[in-house]
Amino acid sequence: MSDLFVQPFATAFDLRAGDCLAGMAALPAASVDVVITSPPYNLDIAYASYRDDAPREEYLDWSYRWAAEVQRVLKPAGSFFLNVGAAPANPLLPHEIVLKLQPLFRLQNTLHWIKSITVQPRRAPEISVGHFKPINSKRYLTDCHEYVFHLTKTGSVPLDRLAVGVEYADKSNIARWAHTRGEARDRRCRGNNWFIPYDTIKNRHDDRPHPATFPAQLAEWCIKLHGQRPDLVVLDPFLGIGHSATAAAACEVEKFIGFEIDPGYLAEARTRLETKSQMLNPKS
């Protein structure tokens, strides 16, 4: 399969082998609407083709370099959704990255991707839903969330908040809060806590052959929140196995560009995108 993957529902889905710094340098300035990515976290994760254990300042400097390219290619009203996780023993890393990028972007929203949660509904049994990786520790709590930082050039990019909204529990609020779009709609802002569990898998090697992925639904909601349009151009500098690409396909965007240095991950991303294409276009 060539690096240019063309689908019936999109002008071009371009999954490229190579380093994102060089790849983005070849893209025109102000040519991308939405960037969704999850870079290596520098937490010594066992990637196939990348050493995830750089000295802290070296890692932050590298983060600034690739983010500067994101800033260059992003349109003035574009959105950059940056997913960064932490480790219990290394809790400041996500915040250090955002502080490092302050000269480039404004932090417009901080989203919390909730992987697992336990709630106590009123007059109902306690329920626990989602998936998490337990830890054996006398000091730290099991980490059930990651950050998604919504970064923009101005801090004032309009969003389609109701595109990922939820129904009102109390329907009497529909008319009361109709100002959300000037009309009565059974939809309110979801807020910045997004519960999106991983899909249940049977075999890690076959079902999720990558040590650090986000669900495609997370990327779909980011695209919808920015404002879903067919002519959007979406970029993922760290493609991995392609969840952002399949999300863009599901949102029927016009163009997607992804960079990945590992040939195995790239091949998996192309396979998943082809499978998604067949699902969305069974007669094609």
Q: Domain tally for the chain?
A: 1
Distance separating alpha carbons of residues 137 and 146, to the nearest angstrom? 19
Model pLDDT for residues 266-277, shown as the tens digit of each residue: 999 999 999 888
pLDDT at residue 154, as a whole number: 98
Does the structure show a pLDDT above 90 at 90?
Answer: no
Residue 143 lies in a domain: yes
Report the sign of the C-alpha dihedral through residues 210, 277, 223, 230, in that order.
positive
pLDDT at residue 80, as a whole number: 98
Does the structure show a pLDDT above 80 at 177?
Answer: no
Lowest-pLDDT range, 127-131, 132-136, 140-144? 132-136
Q: In Å, what is the CA distance from 216 to each residue of 93, 191, 220, 241?
A: 24, 19, 6, 10
Residue 243 lies in a domain: no
Residue 74 lies in a domain: yes
Does the structure show a pLDDT above 80 at 73?
Answer: yes
Residue 258 lies in a domain: no
> What CATH number has the domain bearing residue 181?
3.40.50.150
Q: In Å, what is the CA distance from 250 to each residue of 7, 64, 235?
A: 12, 30, 15
Residue 113 lies in a domain: yes
Average pLDDT over residues 228-241: 94
Tell which wins on pLDDT, 167 or 155: 155
Q: How confident is the model at residue 2 (pLDDT cuts 50, 70, 90)?
A: very low
Residue 266 lies in a domain: no
Distance separating alpha carbons of residues 224 and 214, to the nearest angstrom? 16
Q: Output the average pLDDT for the chain.
A: 86
1: Cα separation from own chain's centroid:
25
pLDDT at residue 7, as a whole number: 37
pTM to 2 decimal places: 0.88
Does the structure show a pLDDT above 50 at 4?
Answer: no
Residue 135 lies in a domain: yes
Does the structure show a pLDDT above 50 at 6?
Answer: no
Query: With the CA atoms of 60, 79, 73 and 156 taken in that order, what torsion angle do they form, in degrees rounded to the nearest 10?
Result: -100
Q: With CA atoms as reference, report the closest residue to 234 among 35, 72, 81.
A: 35
Tell me which residue range forms the domain holding 113: 30-229
pLDDT at residue 89, as a whole number: 79
Residue 47 lies in a domain: yes
